Structure 1
């Protein structure tokens, strides 16, 4: 039972909330539900949550604001449920730090697939964090630890990153000097089965630039290639590093 994930579903529509909870419970998940942000916060204060499913449209504080608050305090995996394919909601959700999104109406099987994919990435990160003598790559004074899944700035401070941000930065660093199309970046990081769209890459690039570029508006490390995609420009070197705290 230790491997059964505890999932919190925050959805104000009772029928949708009940449908999601029933389907996930029949597929080996522990599920708690909440109808709004206040109920969500109460559950999270009393219960361990492994993944949060968060609707955008909620009474009171909306899902985007709640996502931003949760992400500011933890790396808890978050899947956003958005209105009928609204790209604006999807992009905003990614910008607020969501790990994935799913437009309504959706097939519960697809939601379960998204949950499993996000939890696998989380498990990989947790397992890697216990591995000593991790191999790392350095660029422009920065260091990215591929096993600990950590990014440290030139001063040695750890920089918070979501799983999706780390996966994309790793794809860039491991292919420095190559032009990478949005399609190829989707394949390298999220996979076609995730049903992702190209704009999600642009959103993640923007978020990474804000963390590593001196001037995100005049990016020098992750260059935009017109009609091509992106290119990571710094020289990258492999280094061996001891486990860091």
Structure 2
């Protein structure tokens, strides 16, 4: 069965281009012109992925993403004309899974759509993940893989699906250092895009949610010049 992608952008020409490429790839498509309309769409039908512009009238993409994460865990790819790191961090912190800067190559966007849907369908099947499907306990940090739940000192940490996958990967191989490329391949199921700091942003978000002091992390540690590990 083909996947359904919701395209949300107030620019009808951009929506049209994206929809043409998506349909050419065999996806079903639905459209929205702002965040409020997109929320109404996902309230009445199931979608497998959301493409969400940041700058829109009525309800922008950041506010819409926050509200979407209250009701769905499907992948969200943010679109924005702003390329500065702070904009990317803001988008991913709200729960988005990926970020594409305008103007973009439609073929790159299609590659990112495929990567997100592939990661979603293959999640849990990677050979780099531990075989068990139980609970990982590291001091006060508890990762319940069956319930997709993380708690720290009995307090639930609201991780996005990608944040959970990264933490599960690192915690499931305690003490082992993973470089950024390996994390990307294991979680996103493809090679990292050139000059993409998405993994770094997600690590930062994880630390904000599980560490008492994100600047001096107790769990997710940086091995400088190499990568990340969970001790």
Query: Retained in 2: the 8 A contact 1:150–1:158?
Result: no
Matched, 1:210 2:208: yes
**1:47 aligned partner:** 45
Q: 2:4 aligns with which of 3, 6, 10?
A: 6
Map of 1:92 onto structure 2: 90
Structure 1 CA distance for aligned equivalents of residues 119 and 86 of structure 2: 25
CA drift at 1:175: 3.2
Aligned residue in 2 for 1:143: 142
1:163 to 161, 164, 169: 161
TM-score in terms of structure 1 length: 0.77
Q: Which runs of 4+ in 1 moved over 4 A?
A: 154-159
Task: State the Cα RMSD in Å.
Answer: 2.9
The Cα shift of 1:187 comes to: 4.0
Q: Which is greater in Rg?
A: 1
Q: How far apart, CA to CA, are the structure 2 residues paired with 1:202 and 1:179?
A: 14
Asked if the contact 2:149–2:156 (Cα under 8 Å) also holds between the matched residues in 1, the reply is yes
Unaligned runs of 5+ in 2: 126-131
Distance 1:89 1:196, change over 3 A: farther
Contact 2:184/2:191 (<8 A) preserved:
no
Q: What whole-Å deviation, never above 9, does each CA across 1:194-232 have from its counterpart, x for those lacking one? A: 516453222211221233223334321122344444332
Indicate how the Cα distance of structure 1 residues 33 and 184 shifts in structure 2: closer, same or farther if over 3 A, else same: same
Alpha-carbon distance between aligned partners in 2 of 1:126 and 1:150, rounded to the nearest angstrom? 12
- The equivalent of 1:103 in structure 2 is 101
In structure 1, how many angstroms separate the alpha carbons of the residues matched to 2:17 and 2:72? 28
Secondary structure of 1:193's aligned partner: coil
Distance change >3 Å, CA 90–CA 196, structure 1 → 2: farther
Contact 1:91 1:199 in 2 (8 A): no
Q: CA-to-partner distance for each residue in 1:65-108, whole Å, 9 max, x for gaps?
A: 21122113331321111226433322211111101122222232
Residue 149 of structure 1, CA deviation: 6.9
Q: Is the 2:207–2:220 Cα contact (8 Å) retained in structure 1?
A: yes
TM-score normalized by the length of structure 2: 0.81
Looking at structure 2, the residues matched to 37 and 145 of structure 1 have their Cα atoms a distance apart, in angstroms, of 32
After superposition, the Cα gap between the structure-2 partners of 1:178 and 1:194, relative to the gap in structure 1 and judged at 3 Å, is: closer
CA distance in 2, matches of 1:54, 1:118: 14
Are the structure 2 counterparts of residues 198 and 40 from structure 1 closer, same or farther at C-alpha, using a change threshold of 3 Å? closer
**Contact 1:144–1:152 under 8 Å retained in 2:** yes
| Paired residues, number | 226
